[in-house]
Amino acid sequence: MTTPIGVLGAGSFGTCLAILAAQENDVTLWVRDPDDAEAMRSSGYNPKYLKDVPLPENLKVTSDIAESVRDKEIIICAVPSHGIRQVLEKAAPDLHPDAIVVSTIKGIESGSCKLMHEVFADCLSPAQNARLVVLSGPSFAREVAEKRPTLVTVACQEENYAIAVQSTLSCPWFRCYSQTDVLGVELGGALKNVVAIAVGIGDGLGLGANARAALMTRGLAEITRLGMHMGADPRTFLGLAGMGDLVLTCTGDLSRNRHVGLMLGKGQSLEEVLAGMSQVAEGVRTAESAWELSQRVGVDMPIVEMVRSVILGECSAAEAVRHLMSRQLKSESE
């Protein structure tokens, strides 16, 4: 029996998940721009993202957000973090009260410093919010679309809903693991993007493999420190949504956030880097929000702080490295 599924967002990840889900289910993909939706319907491809991957014939594409969510049992949200609140407010009136909502969004809201599950709580009913499932892990969209083996985590406070999503999306090349630590999964997914910018900066400066390994390790320590302070399970940061996603985003050639750092390390301005990109690098916005969050809760995150400073133009990439290397010596457990 098929499951009616709506996917909000036709970027690379939303498109690949829509293709994945449409193997066995009735899927409707919402595209913001009507012209883009028409181009996808007429061509059978997404001309902006994954343009060489054919869309299944049973995948319906629409620019009508109400149509994409009405009477759907599962709603997958795959829009950038800065746009999700507006999208949810438009979609909420037509969401079925028993729908399971899945967030694939890896970011922290600017200004409020809210994690994505907190933004969803603002926009959904209490019953819908109880069914919120967070999907995260090492998963480049192109490799998912090409049916390469991919493992992710799906988390919900009521694990039965995570298991329902796990059962629906898992297939021979896409394997989901369920758990309940929504907070930890979200923090791992959001903050690894900032660390990936740091690693990219180091690679752009030619600092070498030792520095890359150090930044990844100490970056994971910062993520874990903040997560534990906020009540997350430290084991989450050793799993797919933590170390797994961190390793992929810091080392993979398809990583947009590593690319941003790489170009910054090579001397380009942030404006020049972003002008040459067609997709969102969430770590650019998250660096500011993560730093503000760390200040609010009183957790030291020097790598996040230095990435923020480089992005804002407060210091050069080389100066940021010198600052990190000259900090007061301390125990590794700190």
- Give the span between the Cα atoms of 75 and 73, in whole angstroms: 7
One-letter amino acid for residue 322 of the chain: R
Q: Within this chain, do residues 67 and 138 fall inside the same structural domain, yes or no?
A: yes
Q: What is the pLDDT at residue 211?
A: 97
Would the pLDDT of 142 be above 80? Answer: yes
pLDDT of residue 280: 79
What pLDDT is recorded for position 20?
97
Span of 103-107, 243-247, 279-283 with lowest mean pLDDT: 279-283
CA distances (Å), origin 63, targets 30, 44, 225: 5, 15, 42
117 and 233 assigned to the same domain: no
Task: Identify whether residues 172 and 277 lie together within a single domain.
Answer: no
- Distance of alpha carbon 146 from alpha carbon 250, whole angstroms: 21
CATH number at residue 285: 1.10.1040.10
Tens digits of residue pLDDT in 201-215: 999 999 999 999 999
Residue 150 DSSP SS3: strand
- Residues 109-140 have pLDDT tens digits of 999 999 999 999 999 999 999 999 999 999 99
Q: For residue 220, is pLDDT > 90?
A: yes
pLDDT at 60: 97
User: Nearest 5°: CA angle at 200, between 155 and 46?
Assistant: 60
Q: Kindly state whether residues 46 and 165 are assigned to the same domain.
A: yes
What is the extent of the structural domain holding 231?
A: 190-325
332 lies in a domain? no
Nearest by Cα to 40 from 24, 49, 72, 27: 49
d(C-alpha 179, C-alpha 239), whole Å: 11
Domain endpoint, select from 151, 180, 209: 180
Q: Which of 180, 204, 228 corresponds to the end of one domain? A: 180
Question: Domain check: are 275 and 145 in the same one?
Answer: no
Torsion of CA 309, 311, 315, 318, to 10 degrees: 110
Q: Is 189 a residue whose pLDDT tops 80?
A: yes
Predicted local confidence at residue 115, as pLDDT? 97
Question: CB-hemisphere CA count at 13 Å for 203?
Answer: 21
Domain shared by 15 and 117, yes or no: yes
Q: How many domains does the chain have?
A: 2
Beta strand extents in the chain (DSSP E only): 4-8, 26-30, 59-62, 74-77, 100-103, 133-136, 150-155, 174-179
- Do 122 and 37 sit in the same domain of this protein? yes
Residue 333 domain-assigned? Answer: no
Known catalytic residues are: 192
Say whether pLDDT at 1 is over 80. Answer: no
Mean pLDDT (the chain, rounded): 96
Q: What is the CA radius of gyration of the chain?
A: 19
DSSP for 198-253, please give it.
HHHHHHHTT--HHHHHHHHHHHHHHHHHHHHHHT--GGGGGSIIIIIHHHHHHH-T
175 in the same domain as 87: yes
109 and 8 belong to one structural domain: yes
Taking the C-alpha atoms of residue 259 and residue 7, their distance in angstroms, rounded to an integer, is: 27
User: Can you give the CATH number for the domain in which 54 is found?
Assistant: 3.40.50.720
Domain assignment present for 263: yes
Same domain, 203 and 85: no
Token pair belonging to 282: 């969430």
Q: What is the pLDDT of residues 33-74, one digit of tens each?
A: 999 999 999 999 999 999 999 999 999 999 999 999 999 999
Give me 101's structure tokens: 């909502």
Residues 84 and 218 in one domain: no
Please say whether the beta carbons of 156 and 182 come within 8 A. yes
Domain boundary among the residues 180, 202, 237 is at 180
Query: In this structure, are 165 and 225 located in the same domain?
Result: no
